[in-house]
Amino acid sequence: MKPEQKATKKDLSKAGSDRFAMYAAVVVLLFFCAVAFFIYVGRNAKNDANISYLELKKSYVNDQGLVGRLMVSIQVNQGDESWLDDNKAILNEQFQKELTVIDLETLRTKEGILELQDELRRKFNQVLKTDKIEAVMVTEVLLQDQRIE
């Protein structure tokens, strides 16, 4: 064998290993693209319950030293999302108004929270002259007693 032929064989084997690395990289890239696609499709699956939610702004209220932080979500049927987005400002404003008249002490019990949820649903539907709001769910309640005794 001539020295020129040896160099050519080395170049060929090097070129072959470079191609293998490129093919391996393409296969790995395709695998990760497929995984990303299935994750995307899984997260954007159809809403089987046909329900949409809107979370109102977190609100604070101080009732003579008893401080409360509340957050609620509003549930409507799917298809009413645009109506819900259009009325988001009104709902946030009404939520603030309702917090000024509630007794925070009642929120220490499960019955008090359920009563608040029912009252908010009724008031929101009444103010907006509709029945699209299916439920109001209290998603966060934090009460802190800062009264000096």
Q: What is the largest CA-CA distance in the chain?
A: 102
pLDDT at 72: 93
CATH superfamily of 51-145: Band 7 domain (3.30.479.30)
pLDDT, position 16: 61
Residues of the chain with pLDDT under 70: 1-17, 44-49, 149
Closest CA to 149 of 66, 67, 68, 49: 66
- C-beta separation of 120 from 95 below 8 A: yes
pLDDT at 62: 86
pLDDT of residue 4: 52
pLDDT attached to residue 118: 95
pLDDT at 102: 86
Which pLDDT does position 61 carry in this prediction?
A: 87
Nearest Cα to Cα of residue 131 among 141, 122, 119:
122
pLDDT the model gives residue 93: 92
Task: Find out whether 73 and 137 touch, Cβ atoms under 8 Å.
Answer: yes
